[in-house]
Structure 1
Amino acid sequence: MKKYLLTSIKLTAVLLVLLAVLYPLFLSAVGKLARGKGNGETVSINGKVVGYANIGQKFTQDKYFWSRPSAVNYDAAGSGGSNKATSNPEYLKTVQDRIDTFLVHNPEIRKEDIPAELVTASGSGLDPDLSPAGAKVQVKRIAATRHISEDKLNNLIDEQTVKPLLGVFGPAKVNVLKLNVTLDEMK
């Protein structure tokens, strides 16, 4: 019995050092080699950090591309979805309210042309990206508000679109924060 107890204490001590000290240090070192040095990818304007590229942010002004809705009000401290089924009356009302709001601000768009991502929250509630279609459906509103040609805005979206990895893995996507920062920098 003593033999097994001593062995298990030694094994616990070794695993504690390995998994609670060495492994986190290793991951921290690898993170320091990544973009953002392990602190996330920040987006800056004139040297001032305006947000993190990997966390969705709320944009509601007509002069900006709107982000995907968030079930957690874009609070990165508590990410999560609504966990409501698509048949839940409260969920359906929320989605309908989002559709109605979108149509008020984009009257030239038909309801069936609104991409689902603009009226439904992601599982994390913090999705920073839209599909190119989700961005392009907003072009008319932004062009009218900013007095910029639709062609310029469509080209901007195309420039900001990140293609799937190796052309196969994942969808094409546009980071909304980076897109809006670039939009503000346009003359």
Structure 2
Amino acid sequence: MTQDTDTKSDSLLVFTGSTLWAALRFSLILILLCGIIYPLASTGLAQLLFPSQANGSLVKDDEGIIVGSELIGQSFTDPKLFQGRVSSIDYNADASGSNNYAPSYPELIERMQESANSWTANNPEVPVGSLPVDLITNSGSGLDPHISPKSAAVQIPRISSLTGLPEAELQALVGDATEGRDWGVFGEPRINVLKLNLALQQKIAELNP
């Protein structure tokens, strides 16, 4: 009886040891595949096929200095530049998101009224009734880098007055900066505010060498 018990114990130990070793080997293989090979392969392919996107879609000025990303908006307070959307998080990418207020929520109404009042003060040439809604509303993430072409167009009189650039020249800048729908179907025409302002600053520099 004792011999049979010892035999069973030895067999159990062998089975347990074999199972543990198999589990360990399987874990090591998964770590190698999923933790090393796959990340290196996907990173390498991304750098090869989509280097700009893989590195954050960074935007550089004429001197090669990084000034931002195509994917994250910025706050432009200089009235001579095009303004982007309202951001309740001040375009802080560490805290993306915005309050999901209903249209009747008092705080939302108050914020939109403040934006409308600010618009009237800085753009007396354009009535507030012509103000596109995307200039006084937050995006879902609070980081939207784009505005609609109409939102850029209504800012032209102010910028022309402050910079001395002809409105026709500014309209041409807006037209050149307008991006179409994705695949010609998805989304709406839009303008990246950072890219547009870089082009605008270049025009201002040419006007005042």
TM range (shorter): 0.7 to 0.9
Q: For residues 26-69 of structure 1, what are the alpha-carbon distances to aligned partners after superposition, in whole Å with 9 as ceiling and x for unaligned?
A: 33223313142622222223222222222100012110000111
Larger Rg: 2
| Aligned residues with identical type, % of pairs | 35
- 1:26 aligned residue (28, 41, 47): 41
Residues 1:128 and 2:139 are matched in the alignment: no
- 2:54 aligned residue (34, 38, 60): 38
**How far, CA to CA, are the matches of 2:167 and 2:202 in structure 1?**
16
TM-score by length of 2: 0.79
Change (3 A) 1:4 1:84: farther
Change (3 A) 1:15 1:59: same
Which gives a bigger RCO, structure 1 or 2 (Cα 8 Å, sep 6+)?
1
- 1:103 aligned residue (120, 143, 146): 120
Q: Which residue of 2 aligns with 1:168?
A: 185
Deviates more, 1:67-76 or 1:32-41: 32-41
TM-score by length of 1: 0.87
User: Which aligned pairs between 1:81-92 and structure 2 lie closer than 5 A?
Assistant: 81-92=98-109
**How far, CA to CA, are the matches of 2:78 and 2:182 in structure 1?**
32
SS in 2 for 1:45: coil
Q: Which residue of 2 aligns with 1:148?
A: 165
- 1:68 aligned residue (64, 82, 85): 85
Q: Supply the AA of the counterpart residue of 1:176.
A: V
- TM-superposed deviation, 1:147: 0.8
SS in 1 for 2:52: coil
Change (3 A) 1:35 1:106: farther
Q: CA RMSD in A?
A: 2.2
Change (3 A) 1:37 1:182: same
Q: Supply the AA of the counterpart residue of 1:179.
A: L
Deviates more, 1:121-130 or 1:10-19: 10-19
Q: For residues 162-183 of structure 1, what are the alpha-carbon distances to aligned partners after superposition, in whole Å with 9 as ceiling and x for unaligned?
A: 1123322221111101100110
**How far, CA to CA, are the matches of 1:57 and 1:87 in structure 2?**
28
Equivalent pairs counted in the alignment come to 187
- 2:97 aligned residue (62, 75, 80): 80
**How far, CA to CA, are the matches of 1:60 and 1:83 in structure 2?**
25
User: Which aligned pairs between 1:168-187 and structure 2 lie closer than 5 A?
Assistant: 168-186=185-203, 187=206
Query: Which runs of 5 or more structure 1 residues have no equivalent in the other structure?
Result: none
Change (3 A) 1:173 1:13: same
- TM-superposed deviation, 1:9: 6.0
Going by fraction, where is helix more abundant, 1 or 2?
Answer: 2
Change (3 A) 1:7 1:90: farther
